[in-house]
Structure 1
Amino acid sequence: MSQHIQHHHPQQPQYVHYAGPSNAAPHPYLQNVAMIQAQPQHMPHILHYQPQGVPQQHQHQPQHIPAQVAAPAPMQQISQPQTSAQASGSASGVPGAANGPVVAQGDWTKDLVQLAKQAELKKHALTLQLHTAHILSAHASLEQKSKAIQDLKEQKNKYVSLDSERQRLLKCLQEINSDRDQADLAQGTLEQECLDLQSKITQLSDGEYAIAKNDVDRLRQELGQPSLPSLQQTLEDRTTQYLTERRINGNENGGESVAGSKRSAPSDSASQHDGGPVKRPRGRPKGSKNKKVTST
């Protein structure tokens, strides 16, 4: 083929030179280009690829190259690695066409099953974490509710004790109300009796008593005797006599109780003498000071 394919080569640049007719003298520029090509330079090069359907383009190459121009020799040396690189590039560019279909290495079905199981495990782990969070939240709420219920029970027990106390107080109040009603009833009865007695006293003193007293006073006057005291004076005398008797009886009862206590003391002392020796108390005997004060 007469196709000219140029490709990149990292170390050897490629240039296309045109030479004039053989009878022309070599141009000084061509000599400089040949000297530059002889030195290795690291310059990028361009690869031109021409498909098969494109018509071939021929470059005009001189038939006779003068002997002074030394450019064709390096061109031939460069073109050889280019063709080998093109062959290797065409072989490596289409591996499927040369080597056949790609075959997977290893047990890929086992790897897929393992990946699917791992994905399912992550899914179930996330679901488990979500349910765990819900359970912990519900457990915290349950603890709060249980504490509130316990507080309510304690408060209810206090209310029960207070209720029992209230029932006891209500019972006592009921008894008090009953006693008060009885006292009111007794008071009313006594007041009514007092009113009856007063009315009776008034009736007697204004009626029969007054008539009888007048008769007695008149007769006592005729006999030269003093008249009887009035009813009011008689009542006052009776009251005074009653209070005096009560005072005397009270003193006598108090003296008898003191004498009984003094009489019981010697019996105690006698029992102590019988049981054993008794130490005599030191100092002034009890009651001596009081006796001295009473004597003065």
Structure 2
Amino acid sequence: MSQHIQHHHPQQPQYVHYAGPSNAAPHPYLQNVAMIQAQPQHMPHILHYQPQGVPQQHQPQPQHIPAQVAAPAPMQQVSQPQTSGQASGSASGVPSATNGPVVAQGDWTKDLVQLAKQAELKYVLDFYYFIFFFEWSLVSELLGPKTSILSDGVSKKLDDHVTDTHASLEQKSKAIQDLKEQKNKLESERQRLLKCLQEINSDRDQADLAQGTLEQECLDLQTKITQLSDGEYAIAKNDVDRLRQELGQPSLPSLQQTLEDRTAQYLTERRINGNENGGESMAGSKRSAPSDSASQHDGGPVKRPRGRPKGSKNKKVTST
């Protein structure tokens, strides 16, 4: 006992740590890790040795975390047999002297937590991937025939819709072509009618000019007749009437009466001459019918009858 106790003189504590399971609770001795990192020292191989006579209460090791963190030991050389050192080393989980001491470097608690999180996340992702692919395979096996039937029905409906659309498109294009042709015809007819209207307007303008010219000539003639009837003709008529009275003859009629008598006589002659010419033309046409047919057979030109239709000009004059 005295030999073991005398070696435990107070010195700077040195701890040996190793990684344990990730779900263990933090040890109270982990608070000294920062101090160890701040003052790193290369110390010889230290093993934790518990004397046989020392009670267990002097070595504070938690009972719920076995072999996670070694208890503090004085920095000294252990002079025990090799068998006891190996037993204590194997019991405490410290490697043998041939492998060298294990010194904690860096904030290994954060690294340990990060590794645990990564392992847990990878496990969860693998589990979800497995569930997803399993469900997908089941759905594909169950709904494979139905989806094929639905896809066939949808494709058929789409084909029918496309064909109907093409047919309606062709019909509409044909209707558009017909409308274009009708529009072109109407446009040509419009141009023709506009041209005819232009010609009619020009003819109307010419007729208006001719009417104005004739009206002016009529006014001039009436003015001239009035001047003659009131001037020279009146003087000459008075002389003639006086001489006829001396000779015992009646006086001459007025100029208006003379004009009316001559007009009636002219119309009567034209009517008579027109009837005679019409009868002669009818007889000539009857007589010339065989000759016309013969000339047509011979290939000669066809002659039209002379003269005007019966009473055409006379009716026009009488109406005026």
TM range (shorter): 0.3 to 0.5
Q: Equivalent residue for 2:155?
A: 127
Residue 221 of structure 1 and its aligned partner are, at CA, apart by 1.0
Deviations along 1:191-218, one digit per CA (max 9) or x if unpaired, are 0000000011111111111111001111
Deviations along 1:106-126, one digit per CA (max 9) or x if unpaired, are 99999999999999999xx99
Residue 261 of structure 1 and its aligned partner are, at CA, apart by 3.5
- Give the Cα separation in 2 of the matches to 1:106 and 1:240: 151
Change (3 A) 1:180 1:44: farther
Change (3 A) 1:276 1:87: farther
Larger mean CA deviation between 202-211 and 144-153 belongs to: 144-153
Change (3 A) 1:213 1:263: same
Change (3 A) 1:274 1:236: closer
Deviations along 1:70-113, one digit per CA (max 9) or x if unpaired, are 99999999999999999999999999999999999999999999
Residue 279 of structure 1 and its aligned partner are, at CA, apart by 30
Conservation of the 8 A alpha-carbon contact between 1:10 and 1:45: no
Deviations along 1:48-73, one digit per CA (max 9) or x if unpaired, are 99999999999999999999999999
Change (3 A) 1:131 1:83: farther
2:164 is the alignment partner of 1:137? yes
- Give the Cα separation in 1 of the matches to 2:257 and 2:49: 168
Residue 189 of structure 1 and its aligned partner are, at CA, apart by 0.2
Residue 154 of structure 1 and its aligned partner are, at CA, apart by 4.8
Deviations along 1:162-187, one digit per CA (max 9) or x if unpaired, are 11111100110000001000000000
Residue 270 of structure 1 and its aligned partner are, at CA, apart by 12
Q: Equivalent residue for 2:248?
A: 224
Q: Equivalent residue for 1:196?
A: 220
Residue 233 of structure 1 and its aligned partner are, at CA, apart by 1.4
Q: Equivalent residue for 1:45?
A: 45
Change (3 A) 1:85 1:42: farther
Change (3 A) 1:290 1:120: farther
Residue 240 of structure 1 and its aligned partner are, at CA, apart by 1.1
Change (3 A) 1:271 1:144: closer
Conservation of the 8 A alpha-carbon contact between 2:49 and 2:88: no
In the TM superposition, what are the counterparts of 1:194-273 in structure 2 within 5 Å? Answer: 194-264=218-288
Change (3 A) 1:240 1:98: farther
Conservation of the 8 A alpha-carbon contact between 1:272 and 1:278: yes
Larger mean CA deviation between 190-199 and 75-84 belongs to: 75-84
Deviations along 1:15-53, one digit per CA (max 9) or x if unpaired, are 999999999999999999999999999999999999999
- Give the Cα separation in 2 of the matches to 1:265 and 1:107: 142
Residue 228 of structure 1 and its aligned partner are, at CA, apart by 1.1
Conservation of the 8 A alpha-carbon contact between 1:220 and 1:227: yes
- Give the Cα separation in 1 of the matches to 2:247 and 2:262: 27
- Give the Cα separation in 2 of the matches to 1:38 and 1:105: 10
Larger mean CA deviation between 279-288 and 201-210 belongs to: 279-288
Give the superposed CA RMSD: 20.2
Larger mean CA deviation between 66-75 and 193-202 belongs to: 66-75
Change (3 A) 1:169 1:121: farther
Larger mean CA deviation between 194-203 and 271-280 belongs to: 271-280
Q: SS of 1:77's equivalent?
A: coil
Change (3 A) 1:234 1:48: farther
Residue 225 of structure 1 and its aligned partner are, at CA, apart by 1.9
> Is there any run of 5+ residues in structure 2 with no aligned partner, and where?
123-152
Larger mean CA deviation between 286-295 and 1-10 belongs to: 1-10
Q: Equivalent residue for 1:167?
A: 191
Conservation of the 8 A alpha-carbon contact between 2:245 and 2:251: yes
Larger mean CA deviation between 13-22 and 168-177 belongs to: 13-22
Larger mean CA deviation between 177-186 and 24-33 belongs to: 24-33
Residue 190 of structure 1 and its aligned partner are, at CA, apart by 0.3
Residue 253 of structure 1 and its aligned partner are, at CA, apart by 0.4
Change (3 A) 1:45 1:180: farther
Residue 13 of structure 1 and its aligned partner are, at CA, apart by 59
Larger mean CA deviation between 108-117 and 29-38 belongs to: 29-38
Between the two proteins, the alignment pairs up a number of residues equal to 290
Change (3 A) 1:86 1:4: farther
Residue 222 of structure 1 and its aligned partner are, at CA, apart by 1.3
- Give the Cα separation in 1 of the matches to 2:301 and 2:173: 75
Q: Equivalent residue for 1:68?
A: 68
